[in-house]
Amino acid sequence: MVKSATTKDDAHALFHSLRSAYSATPTNLKIIDLYVVFAVFTALIQVVYMAIVGSFPFNSFLSGVLSCVGTAVLAVCLRIQVNKENKEFKDLPPERAFADFVLCNLVLHLVIINFLG
Amino acid sequence: MAAKPDATASTFSLKTLKLKTKQQEILIRVTILCLVYILAFVTRLFSVLRYESMIHEFDPYFNYRTTLYLTEKGFYEFWNWFDSESWYPLGRIIGGTLYPGLMVTAALIYWILKFLRFAVHIREVCVLTAPFFASNTTIVAYFFGKELWDSGAGLVAAALIAICPGYISRSVAGSYDNEGVAIFALLLTFYLFVKAVNTGSLAWALASAFGYFYMVSAWGGYVFIINLIPLYVLVLLITGRYSMRLYVAYNCMYIVGMLLAMQIRFVGFQHVQSGEHMAAMGVFFLIQVFYFLVWVKHMINDTKLFQALLRIGVTSAVTVGAIALGLGTASGYISPWTGRFYSLLDPTYAKDHIPIIASVSEHQPTAWSSFMFDFHILLFLFPAGLYFCFKRLSDATIFIVMYGLTSMYFAGVMVRLILVATPAVCLISAIAVSATIKNLTQTLRGKPAQTLSAKGAGGTRGSSKQQASVDQSIPLLKNGASVLLLGAFYLLSRYAIHCTWVTSEAYSSPSIVLAARGAHGQRVIFDDYREAYFWLRQNTPSDAKIMSWWDYGYQITAMGNRTVIVDNNTWNNTHIATVGRAMSSYEDEAYEIMRSLDVDYVLVVFGGVTGYSSDDINKFLWMVRIGGGVFPVIKEPDYLVNGEYRVDKGAAPKMLNCLMYKLCYYRFGELTTEYGKPPGYDRARGVEIGNKDVKLEYLEEAFTTSNWIVRIYKVKPPTNRW
């Protein structure tokens, strides 16, 4: 009983500390995080749909899921490069980071459209 | 007035150009690179100068034929091509079963040249594609060396890789094969990835994804990249050298690269379904979990809570991953490692289970002599370079060390893979050479030797003091340094001589044209293969079907323009085994098989008159083994006598009467091949043949080339009923 209580306490403490630390992040990073969550959620919906309906045009399924995963990952990369706390990227102008992000997304979606079938 | 140039440069006439030191350095570098570029191209031209501009060997003929088709019919037809001229009666889906990178590259070069109004034939473009890309590889090697160490190492790497025999063997002019372009793509991908990890820029990661796409389109060896890079990421994660740049580089490269790779029909969905690609996916998920945990740790700043989260997170992630992998493999959804790559991990696998893979001569394990032959001094410069890399560990040097070690292991398993190890060996050796020579020359010039941890740069006040102490401590230091420097230059010059000799003697033969020395020392050319193929082209009906062993399939389709039963693609083992069974059976059984396959002509290669040792009689035991693997009626011991393979009087009776024996030795018993030996003396085996009185009942001789190397027989139609 004690163990589960401490695990629950741990989880609560964890949750609270995470919440307080997260609310301190700047708004632009929170927007990127929201986008990432949205993309991952869309990917999950597609996987559930595939589980229900079957994966017949497999290339379409793959292109759909990978486009969501791809934009999520690229958005995370953008967040890393724009985040002021990262010392390694402090001389990278955020415009350059965003331009790279747009370019990679462009290539990603061109390939997706070719692969969609 | 220009700045005073450095002591070493003033003796040149560069002073007249009034250049600053920096500009002089750039001029020297560019000159060296241009010379290396031209050298890499020129050293591969031996066979073009000695014989003629033709395509070598077997596989390049298929690539040439497909490139011809691409330039004549266009990309859409090429991509959807179904070929009914090979693997009769099955046909082959060429569009979906080839790696299009090489053909598209050659076609692009051809179209660009045509646009510029250079009227070249596509064959010339095909012949010279490999040397052109070898030159490009040296440029990439320069940039890679510069990224790893410094520009001096880059220059040495470019020079070493320009003439290294391990690379030349598969990229001479005329060797129009996938590896010629693939090694360029491999090195380019690795360079771009290391650059992405070093800079953390999404643009470089995207470029490396494109490099990976080019590699996937060019060669099946891309599996090496998609396993090495995740392994490298794993090593960085485990040793704690990870950083945000690694995350950016790997993720962008993996996702975009995987998507691009799936556009090639031959690769298809393998990136998500094949066991060989699962390492990359596993590391992808691991890296997400890992960095998420790092981020959470950064947010919480409380170790106790974090430990709890870490425990829960890691155990759940690993369990889920293991269950998913286990389910996938057990249910067969994730296919296990295919035979070709599994035999790299377990070298004895192919000999027992897949005789076709075991029979290819390039797949045999490597002997030490091959290593020495292909690498020369690089073989002992490689460990020296490893030492230097370990002294200055960074993301880039860890990568090159891993590339070098893994590729050397695989080079030891299969001769053909020395090619993949060559760039790594050249780069690492270049580091050793460059660092050593730099130290020696600095000792000679009186500057203190640079310590590799970059602390030794020192101020000007420290250098003079150290210079004095260096001079006092070891009196003959300068003499020793100059002796060592001379020794290093001697070694490098011997390397250059060795490489040129190896290229000239061993790797420049077209295999389709044989040369020998005549009695008076003059060169004698045997052009029998092309003679036979052109006879086929001109003297047989256009829908004739030719049966031969699979080695010659590509050449027959490309030069003879006739339908073949089996060719070098070897995708259907049962079909090849049927041909093997036909060759090893008695003539009447073989006739049944040939009638069922609609065979019109049979082609065999025979070296008894010229002493040519790569003929069908020497390959015959493989035909028996492959045929016997599928049809148990063919048993290998039937053809051997006490485990020995013989064709003379003491040979096994089944051997003396099988179809291959009869076709090779028909009318041979009347021929005197060598002075002083009885008629019917086989010069390749060195014995007098056993059965000289060969009579053919169901076939008749159609053509034998001038040196009896290729023999063609016509299958007679069934006789009329009486």
Query: Quick check: B308 and A10 CB within 8 A?
Result: yes
Query: Quick check: B258 and A66 CB within 8 A?
Result: yes
* Average pLDDT estimate for B76-99: 89
Residue B463 has pLDDT above 50, yes or no: no
pLDDT, residue B539, reads 93
Percent of chain B with pLDDT over 70: 91
Secondary structure element (H or E) that encloses residue B701, with its range = strand B699-704
Query: Quick check: B300 and A69 CB within 8 A?
Result: no
pLDDT, residue B1, reads 46
Residue of B201, B247, B305 with shortest CB distance to A17: B305
Q: Is residue B297 part of a domain?
A: no
Q: pLDDT (tens digit, 9 = 90+) per residue, B346-401? A: 777 766 677 666 677 777 888 899 999 999 999 999 999 999 999 999 999 999 99
The neighbouring-strand residues paired with B526 are: B514
Query: Quick check: B256 and A13 CB within 8 A?
Result: no
A contact test, residue of B201, B246, B259, B311 with most A CBs within 10 A: B259
A contact test, residue of B277, B305, B310, B312 with most A CBs within 10 A: B305
pLDDT, residue B16, reads 58
Tokens read off for A24: 């301190």
Query: For residue B461, what pLDDT band results from cuts at 50, 70 and 90?
Result: very low
Q: Which residues of A touch B (CB under 8 A)?
A: 7, 10, 13-14, 17-18, 21-22, 58-59, 62-63, 66, 69-70, 73-74, 76-78, 80-81, 86, 88-89, 92, 97, 100-101, 103-104, 107-108, 111-112, 114-115
In this structure, of A96-100, B542-546, B659-663, B686-690, the range with the lowest mean pLDDT score is B686-690
Q: Closest Cα of chain B to A34: distance in Å?
A: 15
| Residues in A touching B256 (Cβ below 8 Å) | 70, 104, 107-108, 111
ipTM: 0.92
In this structure, of A66-70, B96-100, B474-478, B514-518, the range with the lowest mean pLDDT score is B474-478
Percent of chain A with pLDDT over 70: 91
pLDDT, residue B251, reads 93
Nearest to B410 by CA among B398, B425, B429: B425
Residue of B244, B256, B299 with shortest CB distance to A108: B256
Residue B407 has pLDDT above 60, yes or no: yes
Going by the DSSP 8-state scheme, the letter that residue B631 receives in this structure is -
Which residues have C-beta within 8 Å of that of residue B719, sequence separation ≥ 6?
none
pLDDT, residue B243, reads 87
Tell me, letter by letter, the H, E, C secondary structure of B187-249: HHHHHHHHHHHHHCCHHHHHHHHHHHHHHHHHCCCHHHHHHHHHHHHHHHHHCCCCCHHHHHH
Tell me, letter by letter, the H, E, C secondary structure of B9-52: HHCCHHHHHCCCHHHHHHHHHHHHHHHHHHHHHHCCCHHHHHCC
| Nearest-by-CA chain B residue for A93 | B201
Q: pLDDT (tens digit, 9 = 90+) per residue, A1-26? A: 455 556 667 667 777 877 887 887 88
Q: Is residue B651 part of a domain?
A: yes
Bigger pLDDT: B570 vs B71: B71
Residue B7 has pLDDT above 60, yes or no: no
Which domain covers residue B548, as residue numbers?
Answer: 527-715
d(Cα A76, Cα A96) in Å, to the nearest integer?
A: 15
Range among B33-37, B274-278, B298-302, B612-616 rated most confident: B33-37
Q: Is residue B623 part of a domain?
A: yes
d(Cα B140, Cα B192) in Å, to the nearest integer?
A: 10
Q: Hey, is B644 helix, strand or coil?
A: strand
* Average pLDDT estimate for B171-190: 93
* Average pLDDT estimate for B168-192: 93
Query: Quick check: B201 and A100 CB within 8 A?
Result: yes
SS3 content of chain A, % helix, strand, coil (to 5): 85, 0, 15
Residue of B201, B245, B269 with shortest CB distance to A58: B269
Residue B307 has pLDDT above 90, yes or no: no
Q: B212 touching A, CB under 8 A?
A: no
d(Cα B553, Cα B570) in Å, to the nearest integer?
A: 10
Bigger pLDDT: B48 vs B315: B48
Contact assessment for residue B714 and residue B639, using Cβ atoms and an 8 Å cutoff: no
CATH of the domain at B589: 3.40.50.12610
Q: B247 touching A, CB under 8 A?
A: yes
B contact test, residue of A22, A29, A111 with most B CBs within 10 A: A111
Residue B458 has pLDDT above 50, yes or no: no
End-to-end CA distance of chain B: 107
Query: Quick check: A80 and B247 CB within 8 A?
Result: yes
d(Cα B569, Cα B556) in Å, to the nearest integer?
A: 13
Going by the DSSP 8-state scheme, the letter that residue B639 receives in this structure is G
E strand map for B464-513: none
B contact test, residue of A18, A33, A65, A80 with most B CBs within 10 A: A80
Query: Quick check: B259 and A103 CB within 8 A?
Result: no
Bigger pLDDT: B409 vs B476: B409
* Average pLDDT estimate for B102-117: 95
Task: Specify the pTM.
Answer: 0.88
Query: Quick check: A70 and B255 CB within 8 A?
Result: yes
User: What total number of domains does chain B contain?
Assistant: 1
Residue B470 has pLDDT above 60, yes or no: no
Going by the DSSP 8-state scheme, the letter that residue B417 receives in this structure is G
